[in-house]
Amino acid sequence: MSDSPVKPEESQPITIPRRLDPEDAQQALQQLQSILKRQEVVEALAHRQYESDDRSNLLEGLLHRQHENEIKSIINDLHPSDIAFILESLPVHERQAVWQLVSAEHDADVLLEVDDWARESLIESMDHQDLIAATGNMDADEIADLAPDLPPDVIAEVQKGLTDEERAQLIEAMGYPEDTVGAIMDFEMVRVREDVSLEVVLRYLRRLHELPDHTDQIFVVDRQDKLQGTLSLSTLLVREPDMLVSEVMVTEYLTLNPLDSDADAAGAFERYDLVSAAVIDDQGRLIGRVTIAEVVDVIQEDSQEQALSRAGLQEEDIFAPVLSALRNRAPWLFVNLCTASIASLVASRFEDTVSQIVILAFLMSIVAGIGGNSGNQTMTMIIRALAVGRVTSSNAWRLVKRELTVTFLVGACGSVVAATFAWAISGSLAIAAVMMTAMICNMLIGAALGVLIPILRDRFGKDPAMGSSVLLTFATDSLGFLIFLGLATVFLM
């Protein structure tokens, strides 16, 4: 750490960034789709009019270059995140064609921003040298993010251009399991000693080309890189320059272990309103940090995965081939078909009852539907509570009892409305009473299963959201039909 500050004339020029607006990406996407569609139509007309004539080839070449220039002028004026959004919104062949027109200076940032399922198709369209050029200037943690999608020979070539420290960081980052803090941590951070003055720290910071992204605090370490405390930038700016770091540093701070779950880290950031947090190993040495940027990505990915899991899906390219989509969607749809067949089989066992009291055929779908909806409400709350770690083995039974109580009260009120409706269309108080009883019972079943299904799946190491709604629907439909038609058979026949 040098004591001489950077001279004013050596400072980097200040640039005014382009205004960021999500609507710009939407408008650019529409413009690109229009250009691509126009190119497709014109090329088809040119082939039809001139067929194999040389004029056809010349016209196509001119139109192709014109459209390429239009696309370049649109796409390369956008932020890398907006470029990633546009590429994800195009079919594979159009995505790869537009990707070839993206300026090379954006390649690395776009590859990091784009979702995994779209990144694969982009990397497939790049040659060996383009991939090396795109990844060559990345940090070790960024290369580790892309490593699963990069060819092994590219990774080997990129490693040759790294320093020994960067190579060690890359190997370390690639060694951590997915969904852990180690897989998302950043190696860029500012360290200082506790026995220097704030003035020295300020001079050191002025000599840096720029601060690492999302730097809100400086980490205070000893000579063995063991974390001693943190120094916030705000404290650094407002305290007297001659004060020592040890006098103003914070000694109570959050630390993460590289093997901690990234979801747990996200919960800690949300709870304590953090911008960054230190990552230390088992010996207390500072090895990295996690920033709010990575945490936001984790939260968004978990939210998307949870929404897809509820329907029994995994993330996929919306423009993926039909066979790929079938492999993703068919399994749980097949399960749903089997469960629906079982529910129909249960209903068929009461054929005589339904044939004599036809109105039951119209009412039993209400019982099954309201039970499923009640269970889905409970299940959504439980899955969310599991995600943030609020459900434990000690409070699981308490949650079941609470949901049963709430559901009973809601069901008692709702069943009065349902019974009134049943009486109005059937003219029978007995049918209304059966309707009321069956509705309350099925809602209680739905609530109980809405708690137990995700908790049990989580207990056995499964995604609590994956297919839970299918299992819940199977139970509430089958048992709803059984309870309603069974009560009708006993009391109305």
**pLDDT 10s digits, 96-129:** 989 999 998 999 999 999 988 888 889 988 988 8
The answer to whether 220 touches 245, Cβ cutoff 8 Å, is yes
Q: Helix, strand, or coil here: 408?
A: helix
**Confidence (pLDDT) at 14:** 39
> What is the mean pLDDT of the segment spanning 377-383?
87
Query: Does the structure show a pLDDT above 90 at 423?
Result: yes
The answer to whether 266 touches 294, Cβ cutoff 8 Å, is no
**pLDDT 10s digits, 329-362:** 777 778 878 888 888 888 888 988 888 888 898 8
Q: Give me the helices (H) in 51-103, please.
A: 54-75, 80-88, 92-99
Query: Does the structure show a pLDDT above 80 at 324?
Result: no
**Confidence (pLDDT) at 46:** 60
**pLDDT 10s digits, 287-317:** 999 999 999 989 888 877 777 776 666 666 6
**Confidence (pLDDT) at 293:** 92
Average pLDDT over all residues of the chain: 85
Q: Report residue 398's pLDDT band, with 50, 70 and 90 as the boundaries.
A: confident
Q: Report residue 4's pLDDT band, with 50, 70 and 90 as the boundaries.
A: very low
**Confidence (pLDDT) at 390:** 78
Q: Which domains does the chain have, with CATH numbers?
A: 21-177 (1.25.60.10), 191-310 (3.10.580.10), 322-492 (1.10.357.20)
Q: Helix, strand, or coil here: 255?
A: strand
**Confidence (pLDDT) at 191:** 95
Q: Which of 232-241, 343-352, 427-436 has the lowest mean pLDDT?
A: 343-352
> What is the mean pLDDT of the segment spanning 37-47?
71
Kind of pairing between the strands at 286-291 and 191-192: unpaired
Which of 226-235, 296-305, 350-359, 384-393 has maximum average pLDDT? Answer: 226-235
> What is the mean pLDDT of the segment spanning 25-45?
81
Query: Does the structure show a pLDDT above 50 at 233?
Result: yes
Q: Report residue 22's pLDDT band, with 50, 70 and 90 as the boundaries.
A: low
**Confidence (pLDDT) at 43:** 66
Q: Report residue 64's pLDDT band, with 50, 70 and 90 as the boundaries.
A: low
277 CB-near residues (< 8 Å, 6+ apart):
253, 254, 255, 256, 265, 268, 269, 289, 290
**pLDDT 10s digits, 85-101:** 999 889 888 899 899 99
Taking residue 394's Cβ as centre, other Cβ atoms within 10 Å add up to 7
256 CB-near residues (< 8 Å, 6+ apart):
181, 185, 265, 268, 277, 278, 279, 280, 290
Assigned token pair, 2: 């040098």
**Confidence (pLDDT) at 53:** 54
**Confidence (pLDDT) at 409:** 93
Give percent of the chain above pLDDT 90.
40
**Confidence (pLDDT) at 247:** 95
Whole-number Å distance between alpha carbons of 294 and 176: 16
> What is the mean pLDDT of the segment spanning 321-326?
73
**pLDDT 10s digits, 172-188:** 888 899 889 999 999 99
Torsion sign over Cα 154, 157, 163, 169: positive
